Structure 1
């Protein structure tokens, strides 16, 4: 049987819509589309009517509809079902707008953070700061390696609305060294990992913190802990809790360790 004009082979349709031939065959299997002509060589050919269907299938899939829902709509199209689809599409658009606005705010905050540290002048200087209360989500454990802490951060981050790399979230990440280990000089044993966020966790109370911000790899942290320990002794400060390391700029942002920026925060009473 000779192929009719204006029919397209499955390979042509696949390239036109960037849909694999296997997916098109699956659509045929479940009845979403069907070939208008099958040649003697078993090649399948589709008409413009099937192409129209593919336009609808692709658009509805992009909206999040399942194949069963799409088939029901295509098989029983009506004004009512079209209205339902349009209302569903409008809801999805509103949701996407909300997500884009949120993403825009995240990116602006990240840029402000990067710009702040690019002009920061107080590196390597012990400073006492009052820090307002924060929402902190913790993971308990005993962590010794950077990758262990990063893995815990990923788990914690997935528990908030920002299941993303940290370059695209407002969450700040870090780890704690217990007061006991700090006093013993054991600066590579972390008792908790944490993320600071706005929605889940424990309230960490406001207070005065002895802080220091430094650039470079984490292997340098011992020097800065000793510097803070000396400052505490010379100024008769009393440590009132565990030490917090916050990774303001880390490997999610740059692969150059010299550009890493870490802040140590130790709660103190004056």
Structure 2
């Protein structure tokens, strides 16, 4: 058996850069068994087990200082502690990926629903539960500005998983005043629906909403607001708050603006109910 291996050989065998091996040497984690005057470094076959351990422990997520401490004081007990701590980490990772799996399935089901089951351009009355939101204030008019604001808000609010891997949805708020003045081109704020957050923060309250879906540019929403207003009058309803547009399918999901799917949600009550 060959007694010594050059740093280049070790680098190729273990797919570890020479710079990494030199760093290990610098912090006294893995020093060459032999260092010649020429500067060439050689590792003994007896050191291979140590390099194996370093690679395995790095794979488990341990930092170099922790690995160094373990190798200097290794014992059955210390090895058992390392294994227990890493099992806890693996458990947390499994829980995270299980949640991610559930969110992916929900996202996929939602996309299938919006592709196949939504009726566009027809108002309907529906009950919607309370939703927690995180808001990004600032009036927005242009479609491109809306997309940009959504991107900024997604960076701000979705720390671990990207939008595509969560069931969070984005929306814009139209003021009740602008709604009655037929000004549908300005959102007061952009928000993300994030029901996994704490109890603190802003909410869209539960209640009855006139809902209508439309496809395409946000600037085309006026056509559907006209239909929604007709529905409100015909059904003796009264608007009681700001209006929400939920961007169910947006720039995150598709580059084709014609595939955008937005839902207008107008909070209402029956006028008769208000009198009683």
TM-score range, shorter chain: 0.7 to 0.9
Q: What's the offset of the Cα at 1:91?
A: 0.8
- Unaligned stretches of 5+ residues in structure 2: 271-276
Maintained 8 Å contact 1:138/1:156: no
- Unaligned stretches of 5+ residues in structure 1: none
Maintained 8 Å contact 1:153/1:193: no
Task: Say whether 1:47 aligns with 2:81.
Answer: no
Q: What's the offset of the Cα at 1:196?
A: 1.7
Equivalent in the alignment of 1:225: 225
Equivalent in the alignment of 2:181: 184
Task: Say whether 1:117 aligns with 2:114.
Answer: yes
Equivalent in the alignment of 1:193: 190
Q: State the alpha-carbon separation in 2 of the partners of residues 41 and 239 from structure 1.
A: 85
Q: State the alpha-carbon separation in 1 of the partners of residues 77 and 85 from structure 2.
A: 12
Aligned residue for 1:83, secondary structure, equals helix
Equivalent in the alignment of 2:150: 149
Residue in structure 1 matching 2:20, options 2, 18, 23 = 23
Question: Structure 1 70/208 Cα, relative in aligned 2: closer, same or farther at 3 Å?
Answer: same
Question: Structure 1 8/264 Cα, relative in aligned 2: closer, same or farther at 3 Å?
Answer: farther
Q: State the alpha-carbon separation in 2 of the partners of residues 217 and 49 from structure 1.
A: 67
Deviation string, structure 1 residues 54-89 (Cα, Å, up to 9, x no partner): 322232223332211110001111122111101111
Question: Structure 1 262/11 Cα, relative in aligned 2: closer, same or farther at 3 Å?
Answer: farther
Q: What's the offset of the Cα at 1:234?
A: 4.4
Greater Cα offset, 203-212 or 5-14: 5-14
Q: State the alpha-carbon separation in 2 of the partners of residues 175 and 236 from structure 1.
A: 26
Aligned residue for 2:32, secondary structure, equals coil
Task: Say whether 1:91 aligns with 2:88.
Answer: yes
Deviation string, structure 1 residues 189-215 (Cα, Å, up to 9, x no partner): 222222222232334321111111122
Equivalent in the alignment of 1:73: 70
Q: State the alpha-carbon separation in 2 of the partners of residues 186 and 6 from structure 1.
A: 82
Residue in structure 2 matching 1:168, options 161, 165, 169 = 165
RMSD: 2.2
Q: State the alpha-carbon separation in 2 of the partners of residues 64 and 93 from structure 1.
A: 10
Q: TM-score, normalised by structure 2?
A: 0.85
Aligned residue for 2:161, secondary structure, equals coil
Q: State the alpha-carbon separation in 2 of the partners of residues 204 and 237 from structure 1.
A: 19
Equivalent in the alignment of 1:257: 257
Q: State the alpha-carbon separation in 2 of the partners of residues 251 and 6 from structure 1.
A: 60
Equivalent in the alignment of 1:243: 243
Q: TM-score, normalised by structure 1?
A: 0.87
Q: What's the offset of the Cα at 1:139?
A: 2.9
Greater Cα offset, 226-235 or 191-200: 226-235
Deviation string, structure 1 residues 167-206 (Cα, Å, up to 9, x no partner): 1012122121111222233333222222222232334321
Aligned residue for 2:221, secondary structure, equals helix
Deviation string, structure 1 residues 38-64 (Cα, Å, up to 9, x no partner): 345423222344332232223222333
